Structure 1
Amino acid sequence: MSFKSIIVAGGSGLRSGGKKQWRAFCGRPVLWWPVDAFVRAGSDDIVVVVPVDDMALAESIVGDLPHVRIVSGGATRALSVENGLKALEATAGPKDIVLIHDAARPLLTVELVNRLLEGLKTMRAAILALPVADSLKRIKDQVITDAPSRENLWHAQTPQAFRLADISHGFALWPADQEATDEAMMAAHAGIAVGIVEGDARLQKLTYPDDFAVLEALMSPPLSLRNMRVGQGFDVHRWGDGQSVWLCGIEISHDKTLIGHSDADAGLHALTDALMGAAGLGDIGEHFPPTDPQWKGAPSYIFLEHAARLIRERGGEIINVDVTLICEQPKIKPHRQAMQQRLAEILGVDVSRVSVKATTTEKLGFTGREEGLAAQAVCLIML
């Protein structure tokens, strides 16, 4: 299911000791985590709303991630969301789905996004939320005056999901002299039924300084390592007459070309097999048989995109990939950075997660005799 997203990162963060969206969290700024989650979940337009003075900073942190746009926020959270909606309205349709998320909830996962999108199949709008478990107290002058029932009470979380026209209508009808606590409140005021999808306790909002330590503990290696999987791939193609060769998604001028049913990009084929293997999805030949004429001459990035999409659809995450090209010619080093950028684009990950290397076999074997080129790949995914 296609969707757009808005990440609100325009707050001052006074209770947390400063602008928390820029603070380090598990080795990266807080803002990076939810943006990366939306990228992996397949959002085709990600609008990140930040203070106007921080737009360059935001660009340096998430500007290289695919489908990301940076826009300036307003004086209040509601005005910041409204700026994000206006940015979407310029390119999106009224029935398009938009997910609105607080940057201060960094532990967003693809599984939670998919859960919310699944809810929209039967609901007009939906939010992630958790039932209230603690006893509630109403106080006055630090003395308890009442104990409201927690029955039917839920903690609202984000993302909150709407059709673009619905939430825009909610903003248009909301009284200017009142402050809404979230977008669901505006939608309900406009007569839009908002459903509940069960959220996750880890989607806690960073509000106070101690919250960073609590959430970072949930990201500790013992939790993360439980579902990590390694995959490896290997591919070979022979050389033939030609004027260029495709390697890791980049066309390189050369006096030979690789021969194969598709474009014979051995680097992409090896990496596709590695990802398929890590996810237990078979191999490239099962999904794109060389006997099928529709794949004759096809660009191999299609195969790699397919593997990455299958992993995302299962709630998985590509942690890193490493490709080694084995050949005497062409020289890979001048093209290595472009290859890494292209792989990151195809996979929808940050380029820091991608490595491309090259080696020779010291003139030994079929690659040393320049009869063909080989590629091997290894990957780590979380599933």
Structure 2
Amino acid sequence: MNARSPLYGAELAILVVAAGRGSRVGAGRPKQYRPLAGRTMLAHNLSALLRAAPHALIAPVIHADDIELYRESVASLGAQAQNLRAPIFGGATRQESVRAGLEALDLDRNKRPKIVLIHDAARIFASDKLICRAILAAKAHGAAIPGVVVTDTIKEIADDDFIARTPPRARLRAVQTPQAFDFDLILAAHRKAAAAGANELTDDAAIAEWVGHRVHVFEGDAGNMKITSAEDVVAAEARLIRDLQDIRTGQGYDVHAFGPGDHIWLGGLKVPHDHGLVGHSDADVLSHAITDALLGALADGDIGSHFPPSDPQWRGAASKIFLAAAAAKVRERGGMIAHIDATLVCERPKVGPHREAIRASIAAIIDVPLDRVAVKATTSERLGFTGRGEGIASIAIATIRLPL
């Protein structure tokens, strides 16, 4: 028996608790929406669960303020996202968020589970084997949690910071998620704790214990790390990148002629100029070249095959749409954009004053750090159509990493 069995289709739900703020990783968006190797932390988490338990009902519990961030995250999952339940809005604490998720599942009468796994969004490395062990433990014991052997000696200290007790290490376990329960058991426990005002219990096992249930500890996974600090983010991304061993490059080239206008678009940035560029869309020559480079690295056609100029819906369209779509295709393949190197060839306008803003615009469109985007400019020494000031050419190289 394994976690992929269709047996669990009507029996198993996985709550992914993703409503926290994650302030310990530093300023910025909540940590579950921070990018890691091309996807957000939450997207990596959901992808692992969808792979391990494709027949389960996977229900994310998010903060109400994060709905747009959530949608952006799941968009990178492609077709996998169809297997997710609509997100549930959590509460002010983890305990409240879990109970909100359980109550929402209880209302889904046609999909009400027999077993529920409760998993933290900050643990993105849950393996298929760990999910399988959790399911089996829940079926066997009703309440079960994964634990790993503690290798350090643990000291309990008193108020004066002197050692009060040294618990025997052989009986200690570091607890992880997913924690696994009979659905009725843990829902009733959460309701009872909430009614009694017991709102400082640190995990779902503690809630089950508080109402008198014994909780089994099954074998955890040392690789199932929790991302808490900025250092953890760095370590997790390095681990993800190591798994993306199919390194590919693609090149793109585009050219557009000058025409009437008072600005041009370069990398999604509006640049003032005494002419415009002529094209079916907004003629963003730089975005077009980068889009083709990304599609080339994926061996997935070119910009014209995905957004044909014969289709009127793309007339005058913002080229950042094409660029974002190409970046999304990389993420749908479970990959990341490692680097973009693009060159503009023109006599005018002068690109230098706009270079950093163009880089920032491209980085935002494809959702990568700024230091993964290079933009250069050169002239053709007054040779050819660019040298005569008739238009602009752009060349781009994209490096991506995909799983083997």
TM-score, normalising length: structure 2: 0.54
Q: Which secondary structure does the structure 2 equivalent of 1:148 belong to?
A: coil
State the one-letter code of the partner of 2:83: H
Q: Distance in 2 between matches of 1:192 and 1:145?
A: 29
1:350–1:171 distance in 2 versus 1, CA, 3 Å: farther
Q: What letter corresponds to residue 20 of structure 2 in structure 1?
A: G
Partner amino acid, structure 2, of 1:172 = R
Q: Deviation of residue 27 (structure 1)? A: 1.9
Question: Is 1:201 the equivalent of 2:217?
Answer: no
Letter in 2 for 1:46: I
Normalised by the length of structure 1, the TM-score is 0.57
2:70 alignment partner, one of 42, 58, 63: 58
Note the residue ranges of structure 2 that are not aligned, 5 or more in a row.
1-6, 247-297, 308-328, 335-401
Give the structure with higher Rg (CA).
Answer: 2
Q: Give the equivalent residue in structure 2 for 1:371.
A: none
> Residue 270 of structure 2 corresponds to which residue in structure 1?
none
C-alpha spacing 1:47/1:106, structure 2 compared with 1 (3 Å): same
2:231 to 210, 230, 245: 210
Question: Structure 2: which amino acid aligns with 1:54?
Answer: D
Distance (Å, rounded) in 1 between the aligned partners of 2:330 and 2:129: 20
Mapped to 1, the partners of 2:133 and 2:149 lie a distance apart of 17
What SS does the aligned partner of 1:130 have?
strand
1:180 aligns with 2:226: no
Counterpart mapping for 1:1-383 below 5 A:
1-2=7-8, 3-18=12-27, 19-41=30-52, 42-62=54-74, 65-68=81-84, 69-92=86-109, 96-139=114-157, 140-174=159-193, 175-221=196-242, 352-353=332-333
Quote the sequence identity (%): 34
Question: Conserved in 1, the CA contact under 8 Å of 2:137 and 2:180?
Answer: no
Runs ≥4 in structure 1, deviation > 6 angstroms?
A: 321-324
Distance of aligned partners of 1:143 and 1:26 in 2 relative to their CA distance in 1, 3 Å threshold? farther
Q: For residue 18 of structure 2, what is the amino acid of its counterpart?
A: A
Q: Report the equivalent of 2:252.
A: none
Match of 1:301 in 2: none
State the match for 1:292 in structure 2: none
Q: Is the 8 A contact 1:5 1:45 kept in 2?
A: yes
Structure 1 residues 286-330: Cα deviation after superposition (integer angstroms, max 9, x where no partner): xxxxxxxxxxxxxxxxxxxxxxxxxxxxxxxxxxx9999xxxxxx
Q: What value does the CA root-mean-square deviation take over the aligned residues?
A: 3.2
Separation (CA, whole Å) in 2 of partners of 1:86 and 1:141: 43
- In terms of mean alpha carbon deviation, does 92-101 or 73-82 score higher? 92-101
Query: Residue 181 of structure 1: SS of its match in structure 2?
Result: coil
What letter corresponds to residue 195 of structure 1 in structure 2? Answer: H
Work out whether residues 94 and 163 of structure 1, in 8 Å CA contact, stay in contact via their aligned partners in 2: no
- Asked if the contact 2:13/2:113 (under 8 Å) is kept, the reply is no
In 1, Cα distance between equivalents of 2:136 and 2:403: 24
Return closer, same or farther for 1:81/1:333 CA change in 2, 3 Å cut-off.
same
Q: 1:44 to 1:122 in 2, by over 3 A?
A: closer
Give the counterpart letter for 1:87 in structure 2: A
Q: One-letter code of the match for 2:168?
A: S
